[in-house]
Structure 1
Amino acid sequence: MTKDAGGALPAPAAARASVATDVALVATFAAFIAVCAILPGIPTGSGVPITLQTFAVILSGLVLGWRRGALAVLLYLAIGLAGVPIFAEATGGLGVLAKPSAGYLLAFPLGAALAGLLASPAVRSVGWARYTVLFTAGVFGSFLTIHVGGILGLMARLDLDLGAAVAIDVVYLPGDIVKNAAAAAVAYTLFRAYPDLLRHRR
């Protein structure tokens, strides 16, 4: 395929390149989430270990945008539910849906999507304003979806009332704030190094 007179690739070639880039980014971040998930976590009495999954999920949404971020998480979940041991504590398969952590797991795509959507103003921000947008997007993305899903999962799997489930969930809030701050810092750094990554979020 040759370039047109203006030096740009013809539309079909540009579309194929865009799709290939999307697939590569989605696959790369799905693999990154898997790596963060199987790193040794911190056990808790609730049966839901503290891991870096939330960091990777929110980072996917911040960097890729709401659509591709959610797709990366969905790909990760599909592979794990198919039996590949890429969930926390090197587990996999449909059996994980019976665990107390199921609600957190199933809410991950929503967390990535909401964080990605709320981070959209970062395109028009600079400096600390951009970091603030990214951090705020990550916090709201995780707290309004992942923690809500986690609480519902704890209620369903451990037969707890709302108060008891919330009491378990609040243990994870300080760590998630730190993880969101780290995800915002990584996203901010990536956007400074690769401006096109920010402009082409979707």
Structure 2
Amino acid sequence: MSTPFETRDLARITVFAALIIVLGLIGPIPVPGLVPITAQTLGVMLAGLVLGARRGAAAVGIVILLAAIGLPVLSGGRGGLGVFFGPTVGYLLGWVFGVVITGLIAHSGRRSWWRFALGAVVGGILGVYALGIPLQALITGVPVAQTALTSLAFLPGDLIKAAAATAVASALLRAYPAAFVPLRSPRPDVAAGVPANA
């Protein structure tokens, strides 16, 4: 059974919701030979890596809620109900799916760079694409296979973001492990008194 968020959790969730919004203020970053990179999904990946599935989903949910009520919190200053009827709505909803997968993988055991990397790629990229591509195809009327092929143009940039998220989360874990939510052991009786990162 899920428990209510503690004050410290609410602070973490708020910080990461703000981080995702701030990253949306950054315009597309040009990369020679590649599709320009938008930074907002980097914040989604980091939310999953640091906060875990439930708290990460809460941070992303706040951003989506603020967008729904009309605040310009999405990349390019977008907001309002119109974004939920456009071709990118699947990617937006995919943030929730992706951050949950990212958090589950990253927090499935002792934290390490490879769990961070795996979580960022599987959740932050594949999880988001899993909703984004089909819904984009449905709304635009373009076949799923063709939409998926077109979306491959964004893969190099997303891999760069996954690498950056892995590096940032790994550095944060070394410098300030208290930023991460405590790991839960499947057997509390055994893990009682054992530090989360032991």
Q: How far has the Cα of 1:197 moved from its partner?
A: 3.1
Structure 2 equivalent of residue 124 of structure 1: 110
Distance 2:141 2:183 in 1: 40
Do structure 1's residue 93 and structure 2's residue 75 form an aligned pair?
Answer: no
TM-score (norm 1): 0.81
Instruction: Letter of the 1:114 partner, please give it.
Output: I
Q: Is the 8 A contact 2:52 2:181 kept in 1?
A: no
Q: How far has the Cα of 1:174 moved from its partner?
A: 1.1
Structure 1 equivalent of residue 196 of structure 2: none
Do structure 1's residue 156 and structure 2's residue 138 form an aligned pair?
Answer: yes
Structure 1: runs of 5 or more not aligned:
1-14
Q: Is the 8 A contact 1:63 1:201 kept in 2?
A: no
Q: Deviations over 1:118-141 (max 9, x none)?
A: 0114x525xxxx111111111000
> Does the C-alpha gap of structure 1 residues 172 and 156 become closer, same or farther in structure 2, counting only changes over 3 Å?
same
Q: How far has the Cα of 1:162 moved from its partner?
A: 1.2
Q: How far has the Cα of 1:98 moved from its partner?
A: 2.0
Structure 2: runs of 5 or more not aligned:
185-198
SS in 1 for 2:76: helix
TM-score (norm 2): 0.82
Q: Report % sequence identity.
A: 38
Q: How far has the Cα of 1:148 moved from its partner?
A: 1.4
Q: How far has the Cα of 1:97 moved from its partner?
A: 1.3
Distance 1:198 1:80 in 2: 26
Instruction: Letter of the 1:70 partner, please give it.
Output: A
Q: How far has the Cα of 1:50 moved from its partner?
A: 4.0
Q: Is the 8 A contact 2:51 2:181 kept in 1?
A: no
Q: How far has the Cα of 1:41 moved from its partner?
A: 1.9
Higher share in helix? 1
Do structure 1's residue 59 and structure 2's residue 41 form an aligned pair?
Answer: no
Structure 2 equivalent of residue 75 of structure 1: 62
SS in 1 for 2:100: helix
1:144 to 126, 129, 134: 126
Q: How far has the Cα of 1:142 moved from its partner?
A: 2.3
Q: Is the 8 A contact 1:150 1:169 kept in 2?
A: no
Give the greater-gyration-radius structure (CA): 1
Moved over 6 A (4+): none
Instruction: Letter of the 1:190 partner, please give it.
Output: L
Q: How far has the Cα of 1:49 moved from its partner?
A: 7.4
SS in 1 for 2:17: helix
Query: Which stretch of the first structure deviates more once superposed, 109-118 or 50-59?
Result: 50-59
Query: Which stretch of the first structure deviates more once superposed, 58-67 or 143-152?
Result: 143-152
Distance 1:201 1:70 in 2: 17
Distance 1:199 1:75 in 2: 19
Structure 2 equivalent of residue 111 of structure 1: 98
